[in-house]
Amino acid sequence: MARPQPAASAPVLGDSPALAAALRGLINNVQFSDVSFVVGKERRLIHAHRCILACRCKVFHIMFSHQLKTAQSPHQPQVPFVLADMQPDVFLAVIEFVYTNTVTLNSLIALEVLTSAVEYGLDDLRKICVNFISKTLTLNMACEALQAAVTYGQTDLKQRCLAFIEHHTPEIIKTQSFRELSDLGVASILQSDRLNIDEVPLIQAVREWAHVSSAVLDVSVSVVAQDVVRELRLSLLSPDELTTLERENAKDGLIPEIQIAQTWKFHALKKVSDSQTHLFHRRKGTLARDHHSYLDSPAK
């Protein structure tokens, strides 16, 4: 007689919102908590539960495992973890996601929550933050978001920030956050063909950025900007504009003389360099000049 086969089984989804609501009640709840964190400059005490944090986040799992290994006794009282460089509201947002798989965001904390999501390896939270930031970009925060994207290798956020900056370039270059960008951040903007601005005000914006960075970092303008100015498209300038640029450049040495000399060579020979063809592309906002007939069509 054939033996009966075991009945097939499959998970049946219950009420997920109810589970999330129940777990939300445990957030920063001292009852049954077994781990605490001292967060931020204000040293705010936040309570949590090891098993939830450890099973949802590998970083917490490693953190708790290390603490247990170094404890002299399994019954030794656990001291709080100190997170001095994180805002309490940011940490609570991370905890909220870990407990409920949802997060409450606003423009004041979204970038820092994104940073924490990357550091804690919470990729789903990272995606939520990228989507939220992309939809709520403003003139004042676009460069700050771009800097975070560049710093933490967030290609999707970088592309969305660049699209916003390309559309609002004249306004963006006047913001304080533009002047506070790193050289990599500024260079990533200058590499775009779709900036809605002419090269003359763009060069002036780079000069202002370089002077601010020079003062902050206490190094010369030429050193601060050495990688950035390579992305300036001097060939788009007319001979008269190039002459004016040379006079300005004599004051601060922003642009290497050889770069200006190569532009004069282009005007003399009317020949585009084969090695740096992108520097001869007109941007979307480039104003027409007579010599542009020797260049490619402007970006659309």
| 179-190 per-position pLDDT tens digit | 999 999 999 999
Question: In angstroms, rounded to a whole number, what is the distance separating the alpha carbons of residues 194 and 200?
Answer: 15
pLDDT of residue 275: 73
pLDDT of residue 265: 93
Over residues 115-128, the mean pLDDT reads 96
Mean pLDDT of the chain: 92
Given pLDDT bands bounded at 50, 70 and 90, which one contains residue 72?
low
pLDDT of residue 276: 77
Over residues 279-291, the mean pLDDT reads 94
Question: In angstroms, rounded to a whole number, what is the distance separating the alpha carbons of residues 52 and 62?
Answer: 13
Over residues 113-121, the mean pLDDT reads 96
Q: Are strands 44-48 and 81-83 parallel, antiparallel or unpaired?
A: unpaired
pLDDT of residue 86: 95
Share of the chain above pLDDT 70, in %: 93
Higher pLDDT, 221 or 15: 221
> For tokens 């206490």, what's the residue?
218
Q: Are strands 35-39 and 81-83 parallel, antiparallel or unpaired?
A: parallel
Domain boundaries, the chain: 180-300
Q: Which residues pair with 39 in a beta bridge?
A: 44, 83
pLDDT of residue 73: 56
Share of the chain above pLDDT 90, in %: 78
Higher pLDDT, 135 or 297: 135
Over residues 159-179, the mean pLDDT reads 97
| Residue 107 reports pLDDT greater than 80 | yes
Angle between helices 88-100 and 16-24 (to 10 degrees): 140
| Residue 7 reports pLDDT greater than 80 | no
Q: In 3D, which of 141, 62, 132 has the Cα closest to residue 97? A: 132
| Residue 218 reports pLDDT greater than 90 | yes
pLDDT of residue 71: 64
Question: In angstroms, rounded to a whole number, what is the distance separating the alpha carbons of residues 167 and 161?
Answer: 10
Question: In angstroms, rounded to a whole number, what is the distance separating the alpha carbons of residues 196 and 270?
Answer: 25
Question: In angstroms, rounded to a whole number, what is the distance separating the alpha carbons of residues 90 and 230?
Answer: 38
Over residues 77-91, the mean pLDDT reads 89
Q: Which amino acid is at 130?
A: V
| Residue 74 reports pLDDT greater than 60 | no
> pTM for this one?
0.86
Given pLDDT bands bounded at 50, 70 and 90, which one contains residue 17?
confident
Over residues 284-294, the mean pLDDT reads 93
Given pLDDT bands bounded at 50, 70 and 90, which one contains residue 1?
low
pLDDT of residue 297: 67
Q: In 3D, which of 112, 108, 80 has the Cα closest to residue 94? A: 112
pLDDT of residue 11: 79
Over residues 102-121, the mean pLDDT reads 96
